[in-house]
Structure 1
Amino acid sequence: MLSRPGSWSRALLLVAAVARFGDCKIDRNSIVRLFNLKLNQSDPYSPVQVGNGNFAFGVDVTGLQTFLPHNTLSSWGWHNSSLPATPHQTAITDFTGLDWWTHDRLVNYAQPNPAEKDISQWLISNPHRINLGRIGLWFGGQNVSEEMLSEKMQALDLWDGVVTSLFFLNGKEVKVRTVASLQTDTVAVEIESELFKSGQLGVFFDFPYASGKNKFDAPFVGVWNATANHTTTLKTKTSGAIITHTLDATTYVADINWANKASISRLDNAMHRYILKPGTREDKLSFTTTFALKAGKSVGSFDDVLDKAAEWWNNYWNRGAFILLPIAFNSSARELQRRIILSQYLLAVNEAGRDPPQESGLVNNGWYGKFHMEMVFWHLMHWTLWDKWSLYDRSIGVYERFLPTSFERAKHQGYEGARIGKMSDPTGRSAPGEINSLLIWQQPHPMYFAEMEYRKYPNKKTLEKWDAILTAVADFMVSYAWYNETTKVYDLGPPMYPVSENTNPNQTVNPTFELAYWRFGLDVAEKWQKRQDKAVPSSWQTVRDKLAAFPVENDVYVLYEGIKDMWTTPETAEDHPGLLGIYGWLPPDPRLNLTIFNNTLGKVYQSWNFTYSYGWDFPLLAITAARVGDADRAVRWLLDPDNKFDAVGMPVGGTRVPTPYFPSSAGLLLAVGMMAGGWDGLEGPIFPPSWDVEVEGFSKAM
């Protein structure tokens, strides 16, 4: 349960006064720390975390993973299960996918083949992200539960990135401070208690086997009772030890270093659990644990990690954009500000790594820990508006890294250029799946990123960075579009899935949003060529200009051309209302009819089943409402009862996806960023007229 600081109203008034006095800059420190977490019990689904974007360590109320096996996840920790041993399905090359009739020819798609069930499933679930290990308090062999602790109190200082946990056991106080390095995948811990002297307190390290069988591995990742399937070895050193963990072909280390006198050994009758205990005269134990593929340089002491982490987090909050809402007197503004601040912390911990994030970040495993290329926009675009380019830069290189596999995918299917995959692992291999192979709205994402980057950095370096990517993607987009001899326009699909993934792929043709995004992408690709004084391929212009018109029925846009009973069929009037993206998410399309769009917006408000909406749906609705001038409704969408954020700021997944579902958080910041900075033709901030809003440093959207 989250408890609020005392004298909340007085604190809000003080912060507002400090922030506004003499038109000075916003007092960011005070605003951020107003929303420091204060807890008195553990939550199995929403741990408090410390981390650095590539690595995260979730903790229970003790500041470690004592009672709940919360996860230690990373960007590099992956595992492959053994290949299936069934006849004729023993190698990746045994997978052949399925052929679908596509515009007068057979195209091979990476889809599960009923005749290749085992290798198909292996490719879907491998590789899978692994839990690197569990670190918790050991109570001298006593069977202690969380309920036996008294006066529990835990606080997360958002400004410094440190968790402080206090409790009493048998009348003795235990204080734990937990922090993560921002330079290495290290958790640093300091524990103070007289219980050390009596041998009633120590620290355990435990290591699970990889899961890999469940699409959603939540809330905990790993198999703890398959002890014979993997090995751990201990090698001690001066004031430290290295535990090497081997799971089949995956090997990594936990490099542990401590201050003062201590010792570590394997717990009796436990294959993978080790106990670290200080000397009997000590009442403090501080140590660091670095998880890595191999042991490296020392990260220093607990205090070294603590100081460097505080420096990084202070810079994170002080740099880039910031917004202050009227939190002193407005409960909606206060809740929105809470979500903004906690989302900024959680996204820096979970979604700022080398690869695009998985939907549940580094909290647990969704979709085996793989990331989805169509969701990269919703995970990363907010960094551009909030002027957090260094975090954006960490993973945006995925498009260049995946270019070879994207070329291969297009060539295999008989297309030109590069076709971006969907559910991916760090190698660029896209998992088999009907939706995975037929989705297309991820294709123009690089154009959106490139254009936003060029607006910030309009130079040769930016042009060269994106040139090969945009050319290859545009070539595929043109090759994919099919010229319809009957209508004399270029069609998109079939077979395909639109954004909402809820239609018959063989009937889905010319979906509204994809048509707009295709034109947008080809338009940016043309601009890119002209900025470099390069010739624009005539095919790009031809396809862009002759793409099919938006499908309209009864003066409203519909999901795709020829759809029947869209507004009364549950499957098509719920889930993602993607067709609204043509005005808000995207800048106005040249063919957009605002009257028809406003009719469509009203129809969505009237007919959509928002009970099943989740994730980025509500930020999309907010962006659209703001774009048409309805700031009050935009805020209401961000705070909609079905758009839940829990006490620690985790976005609740809903009925169809696991918790947390971080596109909700990143989408929230994208929507707020657009409302704060405005867009071409309209200055921000764009909030309800009665709200007195202060903004700093936001970039303008397109």
Structure 2
Amino acid sequence: MILTRFCLVLMVLSLVSCAVEKPIDRYSLVNRHNIEHSDPDIFNSLTIGNGGFAFTVDITGLQTFPDKYEAGVPLGTFSDWGWHSFPNAGNYSFSDVTRYYQVGDDSIPYFYQFEDGEDNRENRATAWLRESPHRIHLGIIGLELTKSDGSPVSPEDIVNPQQKLNLWTGEISSKFYFDGVPVEVITMCDQKVDRVAVKINSPLIKTGQLAVNFRFSYPRSEKFNSGNDFSRPKDHSTTLRWEGDEKVLFTRELGEIVYHTSLQWEGAASINKKEDHYFVLRPDKNSNTLTFGALFSEEQSDIMFDFNDVRCTNRQAWSEFWNIGGAVDFSGSKDERAFELERRVILSQYLTKIQCTGSYPPQETGLTYNSWHGKFHLEMHWWHGIHFILWGREDLILQQLDFYYDIKDKAREMAQLQGYEGVRWQKMTDPSGLESPSSIGVFLIWQQPHIIYFADLLYRSMGNDSSVVERFIPLVMETAEFMASYARYDTARDEYLLGPALIPAQERFTPEITINPAFELAYWHWGLETAQRWREKSGLERNPQWQDVIDKLSPLPMKDGLYLFTESAPDSYSNENYLTDHPMVLGLLGILPETPMVDHDYLNNTLDAIMEKWHWETCWGWDFPMAAMNAAKLGRQHLAVDLLLMETQKNTYLLNGHNYQDDDLSLYLPGNGGLLTAVAMMCTMQNTKAKSGFPNDGTWKVRYEGLKPLH
């Protein structure tokens, strides 16, 4: 009997042991997606960074051929702190771009984007207010190569290139031949300060054919631009000052903006001015090696440079990043798309870490080049930031959320100007918190509840930590004040309406006549109800005015068993223009949790209609994850995966992991963030819904750890 019991115990222990899956081998998971290539394609540039600073390189490991890459993924050196404004020669202000729109019985001012082609004050004011301030390219660092026959150097002179980005260490290794001689460049970014660390090894140093150039430019004004305008050397200044045998300081002045580049190297070298804003660091010919660090900063810095120290701390930081937080392993899946999805997930984690974790919300092209003049869009902050919480990396997003406190006064001024309570969060803005004039952005409202979403998700992900409530309750309350105030009561209907003047997230509707977009209605209801619960968490009673809006908010518009995109568009499914852009109605379930406003049968019908009619080529990178989340929530796992990996231009992921959109947007970080959000949600659904968001028919083997549920 004793032996039998002993055997039973052993059997139970054995079963328990088998049930406990081994932890994911994160080192192998990450390293099997290291980027290794030999293609100098202009879309294959690679980036290193620390979250608030990034440096993008070409096939040489530096920024040797910036002109070539202008039309691809440009070679940027950008930071969170580097901003500049063009001279305001016309003393332009927001009063120059104010236009009034009828809202019920009121006339409400909006900052409008005038651009009818005429040279008038409204148009010039619009241009200046949108273009200023803008992010600045901090400086080009490239190889200064000289051919033995003295002929000009071209990208075609780089022979047999081999480049590798080691994701686990954050290092780029670039090897190639020039003039028949080997060159090796190691490039990395300091994780503590905004510094690039470089080590070059080549016999070309001894022959004097290899040096390093440092070039500084004036900013550019185009909506999408690399940040480099070398045609205006008289409009800025660069001064060089020696600060020791192995250190110089570049001081840059662009109008009122001043910043510095501290250049330090190891060993004997000279630095000379080749032309205005163009300097060359030439190492001594007694060695094959040049090691240097370039530190960019607003204030002069005395931080010393040691290449090995930077390498050590860089490797430690990246190892910690990959070992902390979530991980997803698709190996063992039978679906041939699994490896590609895993590649996108790994590279998206890397890219969002280096480009989207600074002190401000990121712009849509991060710290690689300027889009929308370098400004960030707060309606995109959901896609940029929610995934950090889901992947257990809350600390990387907290600083950005405090930015809402920095701009709260400006948001309150906007609400008051328009006659509303609380704070109206900006759409297209900058560190100052000023709104940018727009014919679309100023009418958007779907960014308003985002801070409530962030705060509530943080509260749940951090174990209902009361300190989260204390930290964010003022933002939640003032946001809800605006939302309740914005909803317009219609006495004839005994309902609260949204709009006009309003453009929904699906930017295809006219602000003057649009009312009650489906997604915004559901988001308004969820946001106000969540704010009420936060009042209760804080020991306060429910706000009666908010409750009245919740109770009497217009129902979701429907017709023929389908959710309409807006109440004012009964032809939602027959007007071809409305079957383009973001299929935002799918956000009713996926972005949003289950709400009493949404009926699954209607939403399934709606998803079917969208699958049949939508012009997917007009979508944006985050639309595919959003649609996948909706399908997964509706229990349609195969469709969810098909949507997540749909083969269409704007769901393309380049060799470097960037989500390509078009010629203007060669990268689009909301797409990467959306992918990570969708994958995390689809994995963790099994915690609350009994089955995963991935197919459970054996085609997908999904192992995950460290992820947190979205809902």
Query: Would you say same fold, with TM above 0.5?
Result: yes
Q: Secondary structure at the match of 1:406?
A: helix
The residue matched to 1:518 in structure 2 has which SS?
Answer: helix
Q: Map 1:153-552; keep pairs closer than 5 Å.
A: 153-211=162-220, 213-217=221-225, 220-238=226-244, 239-267=246-274, 270-326=275-331, 330-457=335-462, 458-552=464-558
2:399 and 2:192 map into 1 onto residues whose CA distance is 13
How far off its partner does 1:68 sit? 2.5
Deviation of the 1:110 alpha carbon: 1.3
Size of the aligned set, in residue pairs, is 673
Q: In structure 2, how many angstroms separate the alpha carbons of the residues matched to 1:661 and 1:371?
A: 12
Task: Flag the 1:79–1:262 CA change in 2: closer, same or farther, 3 A.
Answer: same
CA distance in 2, matches of 1:228, 1:140: 28
Partner of 2:72: none
**8 Å contact 1:324–1:337 — kept in the other structure?**
yes
Does the CA contact (< 8 Å) of 2:564 and 2:570 recur in 1? no
Contact 1:184/1:290, CA 8 A, preserved across alignment: yes
Deviation string for 1:556-581 (max 9, x for gaps)? 11011131422121211111000111
CA separation in 1, counterparts of 2:122 and 2:391?
46
Kindly tell me: are residues 44 and 150 of structure 1, through their superposed partners in 2, closer, same or farther at Cα, counting changes over 3 Å?
closer
Structure 1's 317 and 610: CA in aligned 2 closer, same or farther, altered over 3 A? Answer: same
Q: Which 5+ residue runs of structure 1 have no aligned equivalent?
A: 1-19
Q: Is the 8 A contact 2:113 2:437 kept in 1?
A: yes
1:95 is paired with a residue whose SS is helix
CA deviation after TM superposition for structure 1 residue 23, in Å: 3.1
For 1:526 and 1:442, the matched residues in 2 are separated by 19
Paired position in structure 2 for 1:622: 628
Q: What's 1:658 paired with?
A: 665
The Cα shift of 1:375 comes to 0.8
Aligned to 1:131: 137
Report what 1:59 is aligned to. Answer: 57
Q: Is the 8 A contact 2:627 2:643 kept in 1?
A: yes
CA contact (8 A) 1:39 1:61 kept: no
- Alpha-carbon offset, residue 299 of structure 1: 4.5
1:32 to 6, 30, 33: 30
User: Is 2:201–2:289's contact at 8 Å kept on the other side of the alignment?
Assistant: yes
Contact 1:677-1:683 at 8 Å conserved across structures: no
Shift of 1:300: 2.6
Q: Any conservation in 2 of the 1:264–1:274 contact (CA below 8 Å)?
A: yes
Shift of 1:684: 6.0
- Give deviations 1:476-500, integer Å, cap 9, x for gaps: 1111111101110000001100111
2:644 is aligned with 1:638:
yes
SS of aligned partner of 1:23: coil
Deviation string, structure 1 residues 269-290 (Cα, Å, up to 9, x no partner): x111101011120211101001
- In the TM superposition, structure 1's runs of 4+ consecutive aligned residues that sit over 6 Å from their partners are none
Instruction: Give the residue type in structure 1 aligned to 2:695.
Output: P
- CA 1:551/1:330 → structure 2, altered by over 3 Å: closer, same or farther? closer
Residue 693 of structure 1 deviates from its aligned partner by 1.3
Structure 1 distance, partners of 2:94, 2:169, is 49
Question: Aligned pair in 2 of structure 1 residues 337, 93: CA closer, same or farther (>3 Å)?
Answer: closer
1:86-165 equivalent positions in 2, closer than 5 A: 90-92=91-93, 94-95=95-96, 97-112=98-113, 116-140=122-146, 142=150, 143-165=152-174
User: 2 CA distance for matches of 1:112 and 1:451?
Assistant: 34
More displaced, 501-510 or 407-416?
Answer: 501-510
Report the identity percentage: 35
Secondary structure class of the residue paired with 1:434: coil
Which residue in the other structure is 1:677 paired with? 684
Preserved CA contact (<8 Å) 1:98 1:110: yes
Which of 637, 649, 672 lines up with 2:657 in the alignment? 649
Q: Distance between the aligned counterparts of 1:595 and 1:243, measured in 2?
A: 64
1:25 shift after superposition: 0.9
Aligned counterpart, 2:13: none
Alignment-mate amino acid for residue 606 of structure 1: E
How far apart are residue 327 of structure 1 and its match?
5.3
Aligned to 1:17: none
Output the CA distance in 2 between the equivalents of 1:24 and 1:64. Answer: 41
Deviations along 1:74-107, one digit per CA (max 9) or x if unpaired, are: 111111001133xxxx243653511111110111
Structure 2: how far apart are the matches of 1:504 and 1:543? Answer: 24
1:501 partner amino acid = E
Which amino acid in the other structure matches residue 104 of structure 2?
H
1:71 aligns with 2:79: no
Return the letter of the residue paired with 2:218: Y
Query: Structure 1 length as normaliser, TM-score?
Result: 0.93
How far apart are the structure 2 equivalents of 1:282 and 1:460?
60
Letter in 2 for 1:241: V
552-561 or 291-300, which moves further after superposition? 291-300
Task: Measure how far apart 1:152 and its partner are.
Answer: 1.1
Tell me if the contact between 1:385 and 1:677 (Cα under 8 Å) persists in the aligned partners: no
* Matched position secondary structure for 1:167: strand
> Any conservation in 1 of the 2:101–2:512 contact (CA below 8 Å)?
no
Distance 2:600 2:330 in 1: 31
8 Å contact from structure 2 (residues 414, 423) kept in 1: yes
TM-score by length of 2: 0.92
Contact map agreement 1:264 1:277 (CA 8 A) in 2: yes
Structure 1: how far apart are the matches of 2:86 and 2:628? 43
Offset of 1:326 from its aligned partner?
2.8
Give the letter for the 2:35 counterpart.
Answer: L
CA distance 1:681–1:149, shift in 2 (3 Å): closer
Residues 199 and 290 in structure 2, CA contact (< 8 A), matched pair in contact too: yes
Counterpart of 1:632 in 2: which secondary structure? helix
CA change 1:341–1:197 in 2 (3 A) is: same
Residues 21, 563 of structure 1: CA spacing in aligned structure 2 closer, same or farther, 3 A cutoff? closer
* Unaligned ranges ≥5, structure 2: 1-17, 68-74, 115-119
Residues 257 and 287, structure 1, Cα contact 8 Å, conserved in 2: yes
Q: Which amino acid aligns with 1:648?
A: N
Q: Shift in Å at residue 328 of structure 1? A: 6.8
Kindly state the Cα deviation for residue 153 of structure 1 after the two structures are TM-superposed.
0.5
Q: For residues 638-665 of structure 1, what are the alpha-carbon distances to aligned partners after superposition, in whole Å with 9 as ceiling and x for unaligned? A: 111111101111101147x612011110
CA distance in 2, matches of 1:575, 1:533: 43
Partner of 2:564: 558
Alpha-carbon distance in 2 for matches of 1:479, 1:128: 33
Give CA-to-partner distance per residue, 1:447-491, whole Å, 9 cap, x none.
Answer: 111111110232331111111111111111111111101110000
State the SS of the aligned residue for 2:660: coil
